Every structure is written in C-alpha cells, then in structure tokens.
Copies of this chain bind each other. A is one copy, B any other.
Amino acid sequence: MSSTISRLGALATGGLFSLSLLAQDAHAQATGFPSAQESDPSAIGWMEGFPPPPELRITNPDSVFFSFPRLRWSVCHLREFLPTEQVSRGLGAPIPFDYALDDGIDAVTFMPLRGEEEMTWEESLYANYTDGMLILHEGRIVYERYFGCMDEAAQHAAMSMTKSFTGTLAEMLVAEGTLDDTALVSDIIPELEVSAFGSATVRQVMDMTTAFEFSEDYGDPNAAIWVYNAAASPFPRGEGYEGPNGYFEFLQTVGPDPEGIQHGDEFHYRTPNSDVLGWIVSRVSGMEVTELLSDRIWSRMGAEQDAYMTVDGLGTPFAGGGLSAGLRDLGRFGQIMLNGGAWHGEQIVPEAAVESIRAGGNLDDFAAAGYADLAGGSYRGQWWMFNNDHGAFAARGVHGQTIYIDPTAEMVIVRFASFPIAFNSRIDPTSLPAYQAVAEYLMAQD
C-alpha cells in the first residue's frame, strides 16, 4: 500500500512537475514520441463514452494520469482527479480584451537554438505540443489558438507558473511593508525553526538561494522527493504511514544541505521554497494562497473564469505548482505585469513589486546553476529573468507552460502545452527564439 500511496502522491502533487519522465511509456522514449497531432486527446478519444471503455479511461488510481500521452488530456482536467480550492473571479462582469488579430504571425520564421533549419511560428506550436497560445501586443490580442484538450473555456494546469503568482503576492506584501524580506523565516513561521528553512531570509526563499537537503534520487525510497510527494498527497493514507501530513509538516522535516552549502551561496530551483513562501504569505495576510490570489489579483482583473489550486490532505493549496486557469486570464495577469502593475485605471500590483522582480536576481548564482539556454539570466521573486536586450521575463512551468513578457515589444505571450517530457530544456530551443522573432515582427508592424 505504501508504494501505491507514494506513487499517487507523486502524481497528485509534487510529481506533477517532476516525475512525468519516469512515468511515461518506455517504448515512446526509445522510439520517439507520437506527434502533437497523433497524440491529440480528442483524436484518441480519452474519457469519451458513458462510461468510457477501459482503454480510453484516465483515472487517478491508475497513477498514470500524468504520463504521456494521457497527460495531454489530464492537463485540462486536474480537478476531476484531485481535491481543489477555488480562486474566485468574483461575481462581476469580465473585462474583455480588444482584438487586433494579425494573420502574418503564423508565417514568422526563426532559427531554433542549435538548429540547422528555420522553422515557422505555426510549426513551433506543434513541435511544442501547444494546447493554447495567446499573444498580446500593445494590450490587444493579436493571436489566439487552441489545440488538444483546450478551448477558451478550459482551465489548464499552470504547473510551476504557480510559483510566479505566489512570488508576486510576496513581492506585493513586501512593497506594501507588511512583509520584511530581510526577516528570517523562523521569525514569521516559528514552526520552521527546526527546519533548514528557519535560518533563511524571506528573500532567499523568494529567490531560491536557500540551502537544504533535497534529494531527488528517485531510486532511493527514502529520498526527500518521495517524502515530499507522500506528504502532499490528499488521498487517504495506508495504515502505518508515519511520514509528514501536508506541505507544512514536510517543510518542518527539511534538514541542512549535506555538503555544507549555506543560504545565499547558490541558486537552486527547488519547489519547497515556493511552499515555504506560500506559508509565509498566508501567515502574514491571514489568507490561504487561493484567497489571497483571488482577493489581490483574480477578482480585480476582470477575469473570465475562476481558477483553482490543488490542495494537500489538510486543505493547503500547492503554492509551488497547483494552479489551473484559463488562457486569457493568464494573459490579463501578464499584461498587468507588463503595465507595471496597472490595469484599467487601477494599480493591481504595486509598481515597486514589479520593479523588484524586473531588477532580477544574482547573476552569478544563476550562472552557476548551468541553464544553458537561459545563460545570462536570473531568478527573482519566483520569476525567470532572461536579461536579453528586450528585458524579457517569464513565469515558467514544466511541459511547456509560460507567461513570457517582453516590455520592449509590449508583448505578452501565454502558452499552455503538454510536451511529452517534463524538461523545458527540450522546449526552449523552439520557443525562446520564436518569441523573439514574433516580438521583432510585431515591432516592425508598428
């Protein structure tokens, strides 16, 4: 039973952003994946029928709902597998976007990183198993397409883009003076004094320069990643389970870095930081991350749809990866960030919060982490800075999720995707240069 629970936990929660590679079909790995068109969930017919026939079922107890090609359906249906909490849009009328569709974008060409042949924008959408693509230019929608499980009314897994929402909420509280980013975590969350996180500063958590033991050795059943995943599971546990229950209990078990690395020494992209940050913003604001996100952002931006977040067994939202939302609603948020926090005459995010993010994190720390395709970048307030000549920055999530903000081109790109494997390093080569090419194209149209 405990291995079942572990697998379920992995797939339910933490595993959503890290384990898909393991879960996927070995045959597909060996021979190459079916194409975006071949793996289109509506072509396969997943979960169609009353009831769906066994071969078309995607169910949680099977513990493979987030493996390719099933994940292409599941990314639009997480609430059907897992307990969730609403991120309310409020009860008013949505604020619609203006449209200025540009039918030249599909033909924009670019050279993929390390590529030998040019690719068109439209080809890149299939190469990346895109589910939804939105491009805003000067605040108007110039491009919008849906594929796979997605349409304009769907909510798609945002994966680790969730972190950027948690980070923005933290930056907002810092800008307002209600959260001191130089404070120690243990000053705000005394329960974490026993943990490696207690002695980190809030800023180190926000920028992921903390040091702690976090083995991702999936072959070791005692590795922290498994403990984390089991803790995060919202499902009834097998008898005899004695591990931590929920994100907050897990965080209290985290020990110091075994190699003696200290807080502030290095950047390491590790999700438990975002869970600590979720705890911090909740303790400071008195609201769950879902409530705070609704109160501060979702209910103030004229969102079309509620969003939602997965929760652990104690009802704690997964601040590091649990968000699902609509494509255009993420476009609204991206546009707010592009606008320095302003939206239809209201300052949704304090300008100082946006400036703090755009100022970026430590370049050396980031360089040491060795992200080849993000060289010269940094990580700040749970956002990725590219430090390219357009000043672009992004929220990013595995399997290809992004909110890509290009201030110079006044462009926001939102992509939902279900790329077969969980590494953005496989997706960036046909994404980042494509975004730059579209930015240049749009600027040339002005």
Contact = CB atoms under 8 A, between A and B. Distances in A.
Interface of A: 1, 4, 8, 47, 50-52, 57-61, 77, 79-86, 88, 90-94, 152-153, 155, 234-239, 246, 248-249, 279, 282-283, 288, 304-306, 308, 311, 313-316
Given A1-B239, A236-B60, A52 B314 contact: yes
Contacts of A239: 1
Contacts of A234: 60
A153 B51 contact: no
Contacts of A152: 91
Give chain A's interface secondary structure class.
loop
Contacts of A246: 51
Contacts of A153: 88, 90-91
Most chain B CB within a 10 A radius of its CB, from A50, A85, A305: A50
Contact of A91 (B57, B77, B304): B304
Copies in the complex: 2
5 shortest interchain CB distances as A-B pairs = A93-B93, A61-B236, A50-B282, A91-B304, A51-B248
Contacts of A85: 79-80
Nearest to A238: B1
A313 B82 CA distance: 11
Given A50-B288, A58-B315, 14 more contacts: A4-B236, A50-B282, A51-B248, A51-B316, A52-B315, A59-B313, A60-B234, A60-B313, A61-B313, A79-B83, A79-B308, A80-B311, A82-B83, A91-B152
Nearest to A278: B50
B59 A314 contact: yes
Contacts of A86: 79, 155
A238 B80 CA distance: 20
Contacts of A84: 79-80, 84
A134 to B, nearest CB: 14
Contact of A236 (B79, B88, B235, B283): B235
B79 A315 contact: no
A5 B80 CA distance: 19
Nearest to A284: B50
A179 to B, nearest CB: 14
Interface core residue of A79, A152, A308 (most chain B CB under 10 Å)? A79
29 contacts: A1-B239, A47-B315, A50-B279, A50-B288, A51-B246, A51-B248, A51-B249, A51-B314, A51-B316, A52-B314, A52-B315, A58-B315, A59-B313, A60-B234, A60-B313, A61-B236, A77-B315, A79-B86, A79-B308, A80-B84, A80-B315, A81-B83, A82-B83, A88-B153, A90-B153, A91-B94, A92-B94, A93-B93, A306-B306
